[in-house]
């Protein structure tokens, strides 16, 4: 992107199986098997690519961490799913979630590098530390590891992965048939890392990609999470419920990044946004109500209680949330959704029943219900006034909620000059306006 | 396959980047970039599928464990590569290697289950314990973990992965839109595993596939390795250099499997076989010599010295190997290639130079040089007389060495009635004549 081009919006599709609303699978035309169907994800990616979106994003849990009896879960492993998507697309960015708590740095560096090379430089890694107990219990723990330890591990992990990604100088690969020299191993550098959590000799067995290395993405809301983002992330997914909160978050994050020596707007803030779109506002509201009415009440109560770390029977549908709620797990819980859920309830004085409707089922992300024009207005307002650099789109139902967005909202954003009509480059870094990182990254651990 | 059908040969293509001979990348028509090119692997898989082969097999190292200055290495992560291959093929089995020493059971169960579901029941897992030092140093170790400990961990790991693969009863998934019940969680069973190496609560977040679960594959040559295969493997890759040795190995393995209560021929033995094919024997020998002459001598010397665990300067090109060689790393090395290399040298009284030529560069697998007819004769002899159930094919050069096999050798094997002309089923288990495993596997740890 040239330096004088107008600032452009970034849009990812968060391809959460049947859609963000937990009852999406129950609609008459929904196929409940899509959470196990690679073709579903390929179809979503191709829809997104036709609309010139920046990337497809896949969340993840290495556990059954939602209520499987009532809705689909994240199931197929995301880096593998995106490898299939990579060969069926040409431009779309491919962002997968992977945990620093339950993986090894060498394996993660290698898998994201594999995705980056197979896709021609379109990979991104969403770094999570994984706060849920079911995941912890699948990896040798009886309790969730302590919040500070998880983030210290994530920090060392991310720095080490960057070092591994930069193992090969860009001119290391020779492949000179006449001399028989394949790689100049003087230009392939061991990591020689010995830190608090990891000892890794390196080098990685893969060179850099067309975009240098994968884009680092994160979603931290806590102090530790923001510091991790400020040190490493090039894009963050936020769960802000209000314009003011999101703008303050974005400013705080970039101020923190500047303190780590990074340039202005080094971190792109992409706000989570669930869209429920109708051709009129009342049609959209009817669609929302139909979807919410199909969610078992018990599901939403369990979800909110889990996020807030309170017993389900402490919630009454027609009362407000209890006052003075501490973060669950003695401060070790997931700040993102705890903060977002509380913010939504407090800002409007919602009862639990009203909160469920506003959140379309109890997840912590912001929900907007309206016409394509109304959705575009909201997006433009946040974008032009510094509350977001873009959005991580979480349509109510997939694939049709995505189609409603790409056919209804994207053309309006294009007409207003804030969203591309064609890709300018072929890498995720190009779409996000990020430069190719230098080869050498100092590992400070 | 019906019970009265004649016994059929099994053939896998071992898709080792540019080909098994280390100089394959140096031939005039070779593209040295193929080790980083997903399309190369897709092309090989499609060639193999047209010839009705059982599976594509991908070896792996989570390290730079060969001499990268002189030849390509295993680079792109195999489960991800096979996910791309899965969507470009319809019948071919997909076998990837993954280490039990440097992964977590929940992650491995999930990744192979993902491949199995995406491919419609075509996945196989080649279980390795990883004996090389460069890999150990990428995962927190200064030395290679002890042989017995690696195998004890692999045994617990494999049993636990099977338990996780069978987490869901086959009727657990309901997806009843009217009642809102998605899965009957009474039919999704935690593993509740607490063992010597792992504590995993489960359940896996994925149901079983069209073939129940992935096929378990292994390549053990040591006593511990054979016991691991006898307990868990449904197919093994062997590196036998002679007919008698391979027949003895196959008999020993099936006797061990019987002692674990498994039926006759529970384990299919697929012998590693490098083919160098010409339209006449002298053309094939010329091709072999051309390829061997393009391998730097230092490469082959390093390779043999590494396999045998001796200093390179203890080897003289025109002398025989030193007598009385103990297994490297105080008994912790890789038995498969140590045994195979020694067997080849001793059987023929080869000098080191002759050994390099016979092994086509110093790897431990058997090499056959000849016409399609000669290759077919050798395969048929081993197959009909109990030395092998099939072969893990390692063509000299890829893709053309595979084409020489599928166009030249496969039609002869088909004419002789020992190899299929069409797939009878769509799963890897179907190709291998293996039954779908029962849902409940007792975890004895």
Residue A354 sits at the vertex; the CA angle it makes with A353 and A357, to the nearest 5 degrees, is 95
Nearest chain A residue to B41 by CA distance is A118
Tell me which residue in B63, B87, B200 faces A84 most closely, judged by beta carbons.
B87
Put residue B261 in one of left, alpha, beta given phi > 0 → left and psi -120 to 50 → alpha: left
* pLDDT in the model for residue A265: 85
Q: Which of A19, A61, A21, A8 is nearest to A41 (CA)?
A: A19
Q: Angle B260-B102-B126 (CA atoms, 0-180°, nearest 5)?
A: 45
The answer to whether A183 contacts B74, with C-beta atoms less than 8 Å apart, is no
The answer to whether the Cβ–Cβ distance between A205 and B75 falls below 8 Å is yes
ipTM of the complex: 0.96
Contact yes or no for B200 and A75 at CB 8 A: no
Q: How many domains in chain B?
A: 1
Task: Kindly report the average pLDDT of chain B as a whole number.
Answer: 94
B62:A201 CB<8 A: no
Evaluate whether B49 touches B91 at the Cβ level (below 8 Å): yes
φ, ψ for residue A217 (rounded to 5)?
A: -125, 150
Q: Which residues in chain B have their CB less than 8 angstroms from residue A28's CB?
A: 177
Q: Is B322 part of any domain?
A: no
Any domain includes A213:
yes
Please tell me the distance in Å from A245's CA to the nearest CA on chain B: 35
- Give me the pLDDT at residue B2, please: 44
**Rounded to an integer, what distance in angstroms lies between the CA atom of residue A279 and that of residue B187?**
42
The closest alpha carbon to B280, from B404, B125, B420, belongs to B404
Output the CA torsion A421→A423→A428→A431 (10° steps).
-50
Nearest-Cα residue of chain A relative to residue B33: A175
**In what helix (H) or strand (E) does residue B125 lie, and over which residues does it extend?**
strand B123-128
Give the pLDDT score at B336: 81
Query: Do the chains contact at B137 and A201, CB–CB below 8 Å?
Result: yes
Which of B45, B77, B120 is the mutation pick for testing A, counting most A CBs within 10 A?
B77
- Contact state of A117 with B36 under an 8 Å Cβ cutoff: yes
CA distance A282 to A290: 12
pLDDT band at B442 (very low <50, low <70, confident <90, very high): very low
The segment with the largest mean pLDDT, out of A3-12, A217-226, B353-362, B370-379, is: B370-379
Is B328 contained in some domain?
no
* B95 strand-pairing partners: B57, B124
What is the Rg, in whole angstroms, of the alpha carbon atoms belonging to chain B? 22
Tell me the nearest-neighbour CA distance from B324 into chain A, angstroms. Answer: 33
B91 is in an annotated binding site: no
Residue B4 pLDDT = 57
Domain of B26, in residue numbers: 10-278+365-432
Percent of chain B with pLDDT over 90: 85
Of B69, B83, B139, which has the smallest distance from its Cβ to A83's Cβ? B83
What is the SS3 assignment for B226? helix
Q: Is the pLDDT reported for residue B108 higher than 50?
A: yes
Taking CA–CA distances from A298, the nearest residue in chain B reads B180
In a domain, A137, yes or no: yes
pLDDT for position A1:
42
Q: For residue B2, tell me if it sits in a domain.
A: no
CB pairs under 8 A between A and B: 192
User: What residues pair up with B63 in beta bridges, in sequence order?
Assistant: none
Asked if residue B8 lies in contact with residue B384, where contact means CB atoms within 8 angstroms, the answer is no
Residue B441, pLDDT > 60, answer: no
- The label of the residue with tokens 């086959």 reads B170
Q: With CB atoms and an 8 Å threshold, state whether A38 touches B87.
A: yes
The pLDDT assigned to A2 comes to 44
Separation of alpha carbons A272 and A284, rounded Å: 19
Mean pLDDT of the B161-171 span: 97
pLDDT at residue B439, as a whole number: 75
Q: Is the dihedral angle over the CA atoms B333, B336, B341, B347 positive or is it negative?
A: positive
Note the pLDDT tens digit of each residue in B61-75. 999 988 999 999 999
Residue B4 lies in a domain: no
Structure tokens, A68: 């499987």
Closest CA to B343 of B218, B443, B249: B249
Contact B69 A182 (CB under 8 A): yes
Of B32, B63, B142, Cβ closest to residue A205: B63
CATH of the domain at B99: 3.20.20.30
For residue A84, the chain B residues in CB contact (below 8 A) are 83-84, 86-87, 118
Residue B122 confidence class, pLDDT cut points 50, 70, 90: very high
The reply, when asked if residue A41 is annotated as ligand binding, is no
CB contact under 8 A, A110 and B62: yes
Exposure pattern of A17-32 as b/e (b: 16+ CB <10 Å)?
Answer: bbbbbbbbbbbeebeb
Classify residue B303: in a domain, yes or no.
no
Q: Are B255 and B269 in contact (CB under 8 A)?
A: no
pLDDT in the model for residue B363: 80
Enumerate the residues of chain B whose CB falls inside 8 A of the CB of residue A80. 79-80, 83, 111, 114-115, 118
**Residue matched to tokens 């959460």:** A16
At residue B350, does pLDDT exceed 90? Answer: yes
Q: Which two tokens stand for residue B359?
A: 């092994």
User: Does A291 fall in a domain?
Assistant: no
Q: How far is A2 from chain B (nearest CA, A)?
A: 31
Among A28, A115, A200, select the one facing B80 at the smallest CB separation: A115
- Tokens at residue B272, please? 């590693």
pLDDT in tens, chain A (445 residues): 444 568 899 999 999 999 999 999 999 999 999 999 999 999 999 999 999 999 999 999 999 988 999 999 999 999 999 999 999 999 999 999 999 999 999 999 999 999 999 999 999 999 999 989 999 999 999 999 999 999 999 999 999 999 999 999 999 999 999 999 999 999 999 999 999 999 999 999 999 999 999 999 999 888 899 999 999 999 999 988 899 999 999 999 999 999 999 988 899 999 999 999 999 999 999 999 999 999 999 999 999 998 898 999 999 999 999 888 888 877 777 788 888 888 888 889 999 999 999 999 878 789 999 999 999 999 999 999 999 999 999 999 999 999 999 999 999 999 999 999 999 999 999 999 999 998 754 444 3
Q: Would you say A117 and A153 are in contact if contact means Cβ atoms under 8 Å apart?
A: no
Is B435 flagged in the annotation as binding?
A: no
Å between B85 CA and nearest CA of chain A: 8
- Residue from the list B26, B68, B80 with its beta carbon closest to the beta carbon of A185: B68
């Amino acid at each position: 992107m040239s330096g004088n081009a107008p600032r452009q919006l970034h849009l990812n599709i968060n391809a959460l199986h049947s859609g963000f609303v937990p009852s999406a699978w129950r609609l008459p035309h929904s196929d409940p098997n899509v959470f196990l169907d690679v073709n579903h994800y390929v179809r979503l990616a191709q829809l997104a690519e036709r609309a010139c979106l920046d990337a497809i994003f896949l969340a993840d849990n290495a556990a059954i961490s939602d209520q499987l009896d009532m809705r689909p879960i994240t199931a197929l492993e995301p880096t593998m799913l995106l490898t299939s998507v990579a060969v069926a697309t040409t431009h779309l960015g491919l962002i997968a979630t992977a945990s620093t708590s339950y993986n090894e740095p060498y394996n993660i560096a290698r898998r994201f590098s594999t995705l980056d090379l197979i896709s021609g430089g379109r990979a991104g890694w969403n770094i999570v530390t994984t706060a849920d107990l079911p995941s912890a219990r699948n990896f040798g723990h009886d309790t969730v590891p302590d919040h500070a330890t998880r983030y210290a591990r994530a920090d060392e992990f991310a720095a080490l992965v960057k070092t591994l990604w930069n193992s090969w100088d860009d001119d290391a690969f020779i492949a000179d048939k006449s001399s028989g020299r394949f790689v100049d191993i003087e230009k392939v550098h061991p990591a020689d890392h010995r830190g608090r959590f990891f000892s890794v000799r390196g080098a990685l067995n893969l060179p850099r990609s067309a975009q240098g290395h994968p884009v680092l993405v994160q979603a931290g809301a806590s102090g530790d999470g923001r510091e991790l983002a400020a040190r490493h992330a090039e894009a963050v997914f936020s769960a802000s419920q209000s314009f003011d909160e999101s703008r303050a978050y974005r400013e705080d994050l970039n101020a923190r990044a500047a303190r780590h020596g990074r340039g202005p707007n080094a971190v792109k803030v992409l706000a989570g946004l669930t869209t429920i779109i109708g051709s009129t506002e009342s049609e959209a509201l009817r669609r929302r109500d139909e979807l919410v009415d199909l969610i078992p009440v018990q599901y939403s109560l369990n979800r909110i209680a889990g996020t807030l770390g309170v017993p389900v029977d402490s919630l009454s549908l027609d009362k407000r949330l209890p006052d003075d709620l501490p973060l669950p797990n003695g401060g070790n819980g997931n700040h993102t959704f705890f903060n977002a859920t509380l913010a939504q309830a407090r800002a409007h004085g919602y009862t639990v029943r009203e909160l469920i409707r506003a959140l379309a089922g109890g997840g912590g992300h912001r929900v907007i219900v309206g016409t394509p024009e109304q959705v575009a207005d909201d997006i433009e307002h946040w974008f032009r006034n510094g509350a977001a650099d873009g959005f991580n789109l979480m349509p109510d139902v997939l694939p049709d909620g995505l189609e409603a967005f790409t056919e209804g909202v994207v053309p309006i954003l294009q007409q207003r000059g804030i969203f591309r009509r064609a890709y300018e480059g072929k890498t995720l870094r190009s779409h996000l306006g990020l430069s190719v990182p230098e080869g050498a990254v100092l590992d400070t651990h």
